[in-house]
Chains A and B, each alone.
Chain A
């Protein structure tokens, strides 16, 4: 008997990415640079978040040609983004052979009430979360991997730090609760009780948790690893920098050796300018991607 799309197969795929960097790319050439630099996967997009932000309007699933060209160019896994709640975009990406789907707040949501029932898919999903309740709701719907939302396309790490700190501290809290406190906590968090029980038993989320949304430098990547991330997504940071190849390699190394400060110092030398950053307080409420989804 052979079973595809089981929890172990879907979550296991994300386990293999641990300690690695997943990079946003918009064409085959960038995908090759990412693979060459040691990325564990790439995210195929039409535009990186910083450009989506600049362009405004409605951001949708990328043209399938981009996904196909990137899949053709590299042997590492290829991920792609679907709009929150857009069942058909997700099914199309699955049919095209994407290895992982990001139901992502970077794109304009298709549904402001419901997220996709991800348990029904053979392909695994990653979803963004700002806190434990949100993470567990997504896992409850079938997400096989979680990432912080951060604030995509800003090059500002502060929101990703806030979200990772929040999730970690809530995990510690739940792990130390007595069993009779868990149902009330489930109510307060808006999270499935069974998943809280799982955290109490294992002291961690049942899926891997990556950092995303605002990582711009090797030090940013290492900071997120120190805060307990299993790995890092870098969106606009790499291909918006002056020297993408060098930058990509530096971020990969800083993620592996996140506690070797002399090394990170060396890696950070002569990298040229990082992407230009945005102060979060200058964003209008409508420009905050992290508030999309619930």
Chain B
């Protein structure tokens, strides 16, 4: 059994909880920092990244989140979550949590009328993964140790770096939960690895 938390300061929390639920996965809505101690993996949901960052600072989540990340536990960010995870944000002085070595652009497709949905191939996940892009960010470039998982045309829209997973679209707004299962598998593998290290 694994436990995955969804950071619930603002945004689409319920949808992630719904998408994560499975026979081997427990979910936790994270509103207080001490709740981070009980989970094996964390989802940073979609929402407004500016608002979320402000609330992260306001409620003293920044350091606890950093500690969570340093512990090597898996993190999955969608849309605003991806922005929070990037080391560099185009046009801004600095990133937020900066855990993935990539440069991203906010609202890269334009305004809401340019928002769209489509189906994508996601490496390790499958074909025709349903993807809803809402005022979505893009990954402009990644360093070589970051694995590109999916492209929309020429643009990078999903990537993985070790135990960190990020996509610029919203799998949680669809009934297609393959990316969430993929993340749950990452959490499981991390847990097994930890268990074997302790035994050794």
List A residues at the B interface (Cβ < 8 Å): 1-6, 8-9, 12-13, 15-20, 35, 38-41, 71, 75-77, 94, 97, 99-100, 122-124, 252-253, 256
Contact = CB atoms under 8 A, between A and B. Distances in A.
Given A18-B13, A40-B48, A253-B58, A9 B134 contact: yes
Contacts of A19: 8-11, 13, 47
B28 interface: no
Interface range, B side:
35 or more
Given A8-B174, A76-B51, A99-B135, A16 B117 contact: no
Nearest to B10: A19
Contact of A13 (B8, B50, B118, B134): B134
A291 to B, nearest CB: 30
A9 B111 contact: no
A20 B14 CA distance: 14
A12 B51 contact: no
A2 B173 contact: no
Nearest to B114: A4
Contacts of B80: 16
Nearest to A12: B173
Contact of A20 (B10, B106, B116, B174): B10
A186 to B, nearest CB: 26
Contacts of B10: 18-20, 40, 256
Most buried by B among A6, A15, A40, A75: A15
Interface of B: 8-15, 46-48, 50-51, 54-55, 58, 79-80, 106-107, 111-119, 132-135, 170, 173-174
Chain A interface SS verdict (over half): loop
Given A38-B54, A75-B107, A256-B10, A15 B173 contact: yes
Contacts, number: 109
Given A16-B12, A18-B12, A9 B115 contact: yes
A5 B114 CA distance: 8
Contacts of B135: 13, 16, 77, 99
A253 B14 CA distance: 20
Nearest to A123: B113
B79 A4 contact: no
A94 to B, nearest CB: 7
B112 A99 contact: yes
B134 A12 contact: yes
Contacts of A97: 111, 113
Most buried by B among A35, A39, A99, A124: A99
Contacts of A8: 117, 132, 173-174
Most buried by A among B58, B119, B134, B174: B134
Given A12-B173, A40-B47, A18 B11 contact: yes
Contacts of B118: 1-3
B85 to A, nearest CB: 17
